[in-house]
């Protein structure tokens, strides 16, 4: 307040005031307390210009201007459980909550901090300060400077958010992407919350006041140097120690000390595995061998199983073709199943070697993954590391005594397994299939496709028609198991027989009638004419005469017209006969002629006697 006086006012003070001014060594606070301001205001005391100047210098050096909203530097003089006491060389110290120093948990007495003079004097006369506001005011300048100079800054991780973390840097909430926390993938973000870490400011958006920081950038430079050194020493076949960095469905990424390599799932184990986590786990240390890398050595292919002896080399020499082996089903395909005989050694059971049956089926019909099965070694190639196995060889071949079990003419029951356009495959027992041609399904029905007659899974009675042992073929018939109804129809519907029926359908060339469920007869157009000259139509009932019957081709032809026309012909013939008979009666017989001749003779003889 003394500095607010002008030089003119100083000259008007009394000499007594000059004597009251302390030497430069005197405490300024003590001077202010003992100074007689009333006499000074009234001009009674006078202060020497040199003394006043010294006083002004002391005030400027030791006291701050406590104007509101001004950022000044203060010193931590005391710390309680909840607050920090800050000295800014004002009339009194200020108090700031420790919450404003969360980013700096190491705050201690004597530290210099920036504060904002919020209120010079509250109701209790206390100086109110704010460190948080001071940091906010200065933050953007510091952040921009740190970004431009690529300086390392300290920040407090406040919380996690979608895709990363929120970090307090100089009082500004900056975003730390998850990919920028470390050089390796982070699985637990929460472990960083409430921690103070070092960062580099990597991006600033002045328009939206956004700041992006990175912790990863601090260690990438050192890692890059390590990476170059490691890459320069890489050689195929070299064995290195690494740490499992990431596990995917197709393989495992190994950190070799700044350089990543990939162990493909097929190079993890000699045994077949479904997922890499069956063999390794995250952060596991293991030895791997370098299999290959590109020209820049940026893509490194590693192997784990190659550090062990190949299982085929350890396969017992005692195993040979024809031996029985046991194993577990590890993979199933449509064409067969792979069986792991010993760890890393697999054999293929083709679907054709799973059953003696010849009709098409899938491997899933016989086994499933995880099944323990017994099989016979069919082929064994140790050089190419291939083995084929068979299951059906464990049971007798059903075709061995086929002629005894299924002689020609014998009747059996079978299950419909499959259709073709020309017939039906029927299984008599496992491994014994026979074919019923479509023409041998029914005596009477005209079948275009077997599905019209039966369904897959149905049971049919069959008769063995032909047997080919060498070709493993059976020809079967279904209709042969029943009597041929056309044998009796040949008599019932013989030529010339007449039957009553209803026209069921009319077509261009004629019409059809159904005598029963087996026989459908055809009536040609000219044979539909009735006696009155009109023609029969659909739904008309009439008598029909069989004019053609072919059992082999199942063909029946009938006629309505033939019935009355034949009657007319018979009537004509009868009339002709009657007329002929009448004529005969009218003509003299030989006897009559003889009688007449005799009478004439007698008459002539009588006349002669008279003469």
Exposure b/e, 583-595, CB count within 10 A at least 16 = b:
eeeeeeeeeeeee
DSSP code string of 262-276: EEEGGGT-SS--SSG
Contact call for residues 203 and 164 (beta carbons, < 8 A): no
Provide the pLDDT for residue 186: 76
What spatial distance separates the first Cα and last Cα of the chain, rounded to whole Å? 220
Instruction: For residues 198 and 191, give the distance between their C-alpha atoms in angstroms, rounded to a whole number.
Output: 15
Contact call for residues 502 and 538 (beta carbons, < 8 A): no
Instruction: For residues 64 and 559, give the distance between their C-alpha atoms in angstroms, rounded to a whole number.
Output: 135
Helices then strands, counting H and E runs in the chain, come out as 11, 30
Provide the pLDDT for residue 606: 61
Provide the pLDDT for residue 572: 53
Contact call for residues 95 and 126 (beta carbons, < 8 A): yes
- Here the tokens at position 586 are 């009218």
Provide the pLDDT for residue 53: 65
Contact call for residues 307 and 267 (beta carbons, < 8 A): no
Q: By CB neighbour count within 10 A (0-12 exposed, 13-18 middle, 19+ buried), where does 507 fall?
A: exposed
Contact call for residues 323 and 369 (beta carbons, < 8 A): no
Provide the pLDDT for residue 423: 92
Provide the pLDDT for residue 515: 86
Strands (E), 484-575: 498-507, 510-514, 520-524, 541-550, 555-559
Provide the pLDDT for residue 18: 41
Provide the pLDDT for residue 134: 79
Identify the structural domains of the chain with CATH numbers, from first to last.
Answer: 71-136 (2.40.50.140), 150-220 (2.40.50.140), 234-303 (2.40.50.140), 311-393 (2.40.50.140), 398-481 (2.40.50.140), 485-565 (2.40.50.140)
Provide the pLDDT for residue 586: 53
Tokens 């002045």 found at: 206
Tokens 């499959």 found at: 418
**Which residues does the chain have with pLDDT short of 50?**
1-24, 62-64, 66, 610-611
Closest by alpha carbon to 213, among 103, 132, 102? Answer: 103
């Amino acid at each position: 307040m003394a500095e607010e006086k002008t030089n003119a006012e100083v000259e008007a003070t009394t000499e007594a005031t000059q004597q009251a001014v302390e030497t430069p060594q005197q405490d300024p606070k003590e001077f202010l307390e003992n100074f007689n301001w009333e006499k000074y205001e009234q001009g009674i005391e006078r202060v020497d210009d040199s003394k006043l100047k010294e006083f002004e210098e002391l005030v400027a050096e030791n006291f701050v201007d406590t104007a509101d909203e001004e950022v000044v530097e203060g010193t931590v003089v005391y710390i309680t459980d909840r607050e920090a006491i800050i000295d800014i060389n004002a009339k009194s110290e200020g108090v700031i909550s420790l919450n404003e120093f969360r980013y700096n948990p190491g705050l201690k007495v004597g530290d210099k901090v920036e504060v904002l003079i919020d209120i010079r004097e509250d109701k209790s006369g206390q100086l109110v300060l704010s460190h948080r506001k001071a940091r906010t005011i200065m933050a953007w300048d510091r952040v921009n400077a740190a970004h431009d100079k690529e300086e390392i800054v300290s920040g407090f991780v406040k919380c996690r958010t979608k895709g990363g973390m929120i970090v307090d840097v100089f009082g500004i909430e900056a975003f730390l992407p998850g990919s920028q926390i470390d050089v390796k993938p982070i699985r637990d973000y929460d472990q960083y919350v409430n921690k103070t870490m070092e960062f580099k400011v990597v991006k600033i958006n002045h328009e939206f006041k956004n700041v992006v920081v990175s912790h990863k950038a601090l260690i990438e430079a050192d890692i890059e140097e390590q990476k170059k050194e490691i890459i320069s020493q890489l050689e195929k076949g070299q064995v290195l120690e690494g740490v499992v960095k990431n596990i995917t469905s197709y393989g495992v990424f190994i950190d070799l000390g700044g350089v990543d390599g990939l162990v493909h799932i097929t190079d993890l184990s000699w045994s077949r595995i479904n997922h890499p986590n069956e063999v390794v786990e995250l952060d596991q240390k293991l030895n791997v061998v370098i299999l290959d890398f590109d020209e820049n050595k940026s893509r490194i292919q590693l192997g784990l199983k190659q550090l062990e002896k190949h299982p085929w080399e350890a396969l017992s020499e005692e195993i040979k073709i024809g031996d029985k082996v046991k194993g577990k089903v590890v993979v199933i395909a449509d064409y067969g199943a792979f069986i792991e005989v010993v760890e890393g050694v697999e054999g293929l059971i083709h679907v054709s070697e799973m059953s003696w049956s010849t009709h098409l089926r899938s491997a899933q019909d016989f086994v499933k993954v995880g099944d323990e099965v017994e099989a016979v070694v069919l082929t064994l190639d140790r050089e190419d590391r291939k083995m084929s196995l068979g299951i059906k060889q464990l049971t007798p071949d059903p075709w061995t005594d086929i002629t005894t079990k299924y002689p020609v003419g014998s009747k059996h029951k079978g299950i419909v397994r499959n259709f073709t356009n020309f017939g039906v495959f029927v299984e008599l027992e496992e491994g014994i299939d026979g074919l019923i041609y479509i023409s041998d399904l029914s005596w009477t029905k005209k079948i275009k496709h077997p599905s019209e007659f039966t369904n897959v899974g149905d049971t049919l009675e069959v008769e063995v028609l032909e047997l080919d042992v060498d070709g493993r073929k059976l020809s079967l018939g279904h209709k042969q198991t029943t009597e041929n109804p056309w044998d009796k129809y040949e008599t019932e519907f013989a030529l010339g027989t007449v039957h009553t029926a209803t026209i069921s359908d009319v077509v261009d060339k004629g019409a059809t009638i159904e005598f029963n469920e087996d026989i459908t007869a055809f009536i040609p157009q000219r044979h539909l004419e009735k006696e009155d000259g009109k023609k029969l139509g659909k739904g008309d009932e009439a008598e029909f005469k069989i004019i053609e019957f072919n059992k082999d081709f199942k063909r029946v032809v009938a006629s309505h017209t033939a019935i009355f026309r034949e009657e007319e012909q018979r009537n004509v013939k009868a009339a002709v006969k009657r007329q002929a008979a009448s004529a005969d009666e009218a003509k003299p017989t030989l006897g009559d002629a003889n009688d007449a001749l005799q009478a004439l003779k007698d008459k002539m003889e009588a006349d002669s006697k008279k003469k």
